[in-house]
Structure 1
Amino acid sequence: MKPVLSVITIVYNNVRDIERTMLSVLDQTYEAIEYIVVDGASNDGTLEIIKRYETRIAKLISEKDKGIYDAMNKGLALATGDYVIFMNSGDEFYATDTVANVFATASDADIYYGETEMVNDGRESLGQRRHKAPKEFTWRGFNYGMSISHQAIYIRRALTEPYDPKYQLSADIDWIIRAAKKAKKIVKVDGYVAKYLVGGMSKAKHKQSLLERFDIMKRHYGFIPTVLNHAVIAFNLGWYWLRNRRTND
């Protein structure tokens, strides 16, 4: 029997991108999908687009929330599938057979993950994320940054807990680490599994995002290791910037 995947889409006033995200879910060749859409009481036409596909959505709620992770917790509470993944407005599954390929890779894993392709507002490919998905992943694997994006990770729902509301921008890192700590079997899927729309709140509020990430890593990895790891992160960022600057010059 095929495992059921709960796909959760969070959206607020994103009339431009919501349909593309929804169709990437609804057009999957994999049939055992429970699609959940959580709208934050959009007033720009987003809800009207969502309702065009209402008969194909398992659960839809549209109401004000306290932020993205509050909305994501609402989606999690509604999910009944064996696995859960977030495909938020603007992001997409990489291809129509992505979910089928993920579950065909191996049976009964606690976590499946793959690579993410970045795209810009014009849906043009920007290539692979700077943080390449590791060949092997454990909960310790985020000590140098978020190497797997949330739209490229499928987690057994029984391992998930609510997102911590004290974090406004980086709770997804903490959420994945907590689930990965409980996981026994983690499987990497070859190739791209998702498209990620570059931008978002964490880019706009970079300092707050970094402070939250430091606090999360300190909790999971300890203070001294986190300070040392951040020194490595800063060096790697500087080297990445210099290398790309030379390439572009």
Structure 2
Amino acid sequence: MPTVSIITITYNAERFLERTIQSIVAQQAMDYEYLIIDGASKDGTLDIIRRYEPHVTRWVSEPDKGLYDAMNKGLRMATGDYVWFMNAGDEIHDPQTLPRLLERIGATAAEVYYSDALFVQDDGTAVGLRSQITPHSLPHHLTWPDMALGMKVCHQAFIARRAIAPEYPTDNLSADLDWEIRCLKLARRIEFLPFVLCRYLVGGLSVQQHRRSLTDRFKVLVHHFGLIATVFNHGRIVWRSIRFKMQADL
């Protein structure tokens, strides 16, 4: 049984998939499996998967009901102790990242590991660390109530023990926020990693459908924190964004 299942979700991802696969192939570790869940792509995505097939443990290409339905397929297919989603365009930060993660897992066996994420543009140019270029500060002792103001940890920088990882709701564009909260609620030990886990490609599904994403985020937070607290916290979110922009303009 591998320690980590790395899962990539793809759909018409020929522009960016190769960089993701290459970042995984470059890892100086063997104790993982690599799964690709494709939504019946119609471009050159499958050609890329076949080219790297010796490095892919399992892959499937079939129609699905969207991103989170595909992620649930990945969860069901995974056999590793931990699951780590690294979608098309995103990359493991550097070749020593997985070995360092495996070392920490061997030492502490936490239920959740997390770190910062380096945001990058389409051409791979670094934009900056998420905790520095967005209003989302990154606590070093994360608990689920820290999510009251939104997603503290980039999904690609959040690794959970498969035994506590629930399936994603498939009708909510902020399902990754809900998933992280539920993992944190179930985790007995949560560990911050002092190294960057991933390079995150800016411009995902929730960015493309921003308004609905905000509405769905509100629903997730109401579910976990209640209506009154969520309304109050959204006022704090707005003020935090204004203050962050003012400081950035100085």
Query: What letter corresponds to residue 151 of structure 1 in structure 2?
Result: Q
1:242 aligns with 2:227: no
1:233 counterpart residue number = 237
CA distance in 2, matches of 1:95, 1:234: 35
Counterpart among 166, 172, 186 of residue 190 in structure 2: 186
Query: What letter corresponds to residue 229 of structure 2 in structure 1?
Result: P
Unaligned runs of 5+ in 1: none
CA distance in 2, matches of 1:200, 1:94: 18
Maintained 8 Å contact 2:2/2:33: no
CA distance in 2, matches of 1:81, 1:4: 5
Maintained 8 Å contact 1:111/1:156: yes
CA distance in 1, matches of 2:211, 2:91: 27
Deviation sequence 1:71-96 (CA, Å, 0-9, x none): 10111110010000100001011111
What does 1:65-76 align with in structure 2 at a 5 Å threshold? 65-76=64-75
Query: What letter corresponds to residue 229 of structure 1 in structure 2?
Result: N
2:112 counterpart residue number = 111
Distance 1:20 1:215, change over 3 A: same
1:11 counterpart residue number = 10
SS of structure 1 residue aligned to 2:116: strand
CA distance in 2, matches of 1:204, 1:94: 24
CA distance in 2, matches of 1:174, 1:55: 34
CA distance in 1, matches of 2:70, 2:79: 17
Query: What letter corresponds to residue 127 of structure 2 in structure 1?
Result: L
Query: What letter corresponds to residue 174 of structure 1 in structure 2?
Result: D
Maintained 8 Å contact 1:115/1:132: no
CA distance in 2, matches of 1:158, 1:59: 20
Deviation for aligned residue 1:45? 0.5
Query: What letter corresponds to residue 137 of structure 2 in structure 1?
Result: K
CA distance in 2, matches of 1:79, 1:133: 28
Maintained 8 Å contact 1:112/1:187: yes
SS of structure 2 residue aligned to 1:232: helix
CA distance in 1, matches of 2:209, 2:69: 18
Deviation for aligned residue 1:164? 0.9
Deviation sequence 1:94-123 (CA, Å, 0-9, x none): 111101112323421111111100001121
What does 1:185-224 align with in structure 2 at a 5 Å threshold? 185-224=189-228
Query: What letter corresponds to residue 147 of structure 1 in structure 2?
Result: K
Unaligned runs of 5+ in 2: none
Deviation for aligned residue 1:54? 1.1
1:173 counterpart residue number = 177
CA distance in 2, matches of 1:85, 1:224: 33
CA distance in 2, matches of 1:164, 1:88: 18
Give the alignment's TM-score, normalised by structure 2.
Answer: 0.94
SS of structure 2 residue aligned to 1:237: helix
Maintained 8 Å contact 1:118/1:197: yes
State the aligned residue count: 244
Deviation for aligned residue 1:217? 0.5
1:121 aligns with 2:122: yes
Give the alignment's TM-score, normalised by structure 1.
Answer: 0.95
Cα RMSD over matched residues? 1.3
CA distance in 1, matches of 2:109, 2:192: 13
CA distance in 1, matches of 2:102, 2:143: 19
Deviation for aligned residue 1:133? 2.3
